[in-house]
Amino acid sequence: MTKPDKKAPATESLGPASATLPDLPKRAIGIDVGGTGIKGGIVNLRKGTLIGDRFRIPTPKPATPEAVAEVIGQILEELLGREKAPSRTDLVVGVTFPAIVIDNVVLTAANIDESWLDCDTTKLLQHLPGRVATLNDADAAGLAEARYGAGAGRAGTVMMVTLGTGVGSALVHDGVLVPNSELGHLEFEGVVAETKVSASARERADQPWDEYGETLRRYLKHVERIQPVGQFIIGGGVSKRSEDFLPYVTGLRAEVVPAVLVNNAGIVGAALYAAEQARLAEVRAA
């Protein structure tokens, strides 16, 4: 990070506040639970990159908490068997879910099996080695993008919007995540936003890219009225096609940019979140 300019106003010299949290482990593990696949990887926390390939197992059907927990355990074992795995003694593991997660308890199930409602993931995953933390999938991706990706080094408020089966959002201020913003469930033009703005909604309606860009423009304009931000980072698989629709997303106060970590943002963000939560717990206990 660049050194603060001593002559700049105090707010400008602050920079991403969370960069002041020291002593994170070099490596951690992130696991991203999605509707079709559960993906994990070893993350280099200095760089925000994966060490080695990610490992993926298809999401079990039905995707009950017990079935998913078993797959998470298998992924973890595979990753821990690798030469460059973090040591089991200071292991931290972050796991994402496509749901609201508060204090490691899953509180919604819009796009996952209903049996997840009120699931306490601390109990569910207690058989796993290491210190485990769980969070929303878009929050993990947004944290990673804000700290290592499209928003890296940027002060102020950044929002990631993930466009996939649903629409996820992540709000990050000066590098610190404000979790569970869930702006895909905002009411927008008379419907729940994600039913109109998600990548699957575009596919269902066979909507041309320019029209999709226009829909996204109106949605972000709506979001901006409620939560003004300096930058929107657009993620999800569809961000690979950002050249086809982002040119239509104009006239916003915020800068609008595609995600740069694409497929790995969830894994990287989960690992970072778990490492920081573990460190915070130590600082608070001291």
Residues forming the site for ligand BGC (CB under 6 A): 98-100, 108, 110-111, 136-138, 162, 164, 166, 168, 182, 184-185, 194
- Residue 99 or 158 with smaller CB distance to ligand BGC: 99
Shortest Å distance, C-beta 262 to ligand BGC: 15
- Residue 108 or 215 with smaller CB distance to ligand BGC: 108
Nearest CA to 169 out of 107, 234, 114 is that of: 234
Shortest Å distance, C-beta 138 to ligand BGC: 4
Residue nearest to ligand BGC (CB): 166
- Residue 180 or 231 with smaller CB distance to ligand BGC: 180
* Alpha carbon separation from 193 to 69, 170, 178 (Å, rounded): 30, 15, 20
- Residue 65 or 98 with smaller CB distance to ligand BGC: 98
Shortest Å distance, C-beta 143 to ligand BGC: 13
Cα 135–chain centre separation? 8
- The DSSP symbol for 19 reads G
Shortest Å distance, C-beta 270 to ligand BGC: 13
- Read off φ and ψ for residue 185, nearest 5 degrees: -105, 10
- Distance, CA of 213 to CA of 136 (rounded, Å): 25
Burial of 114 (0-12, 13-18, 19+ CB in 10 A): exposed
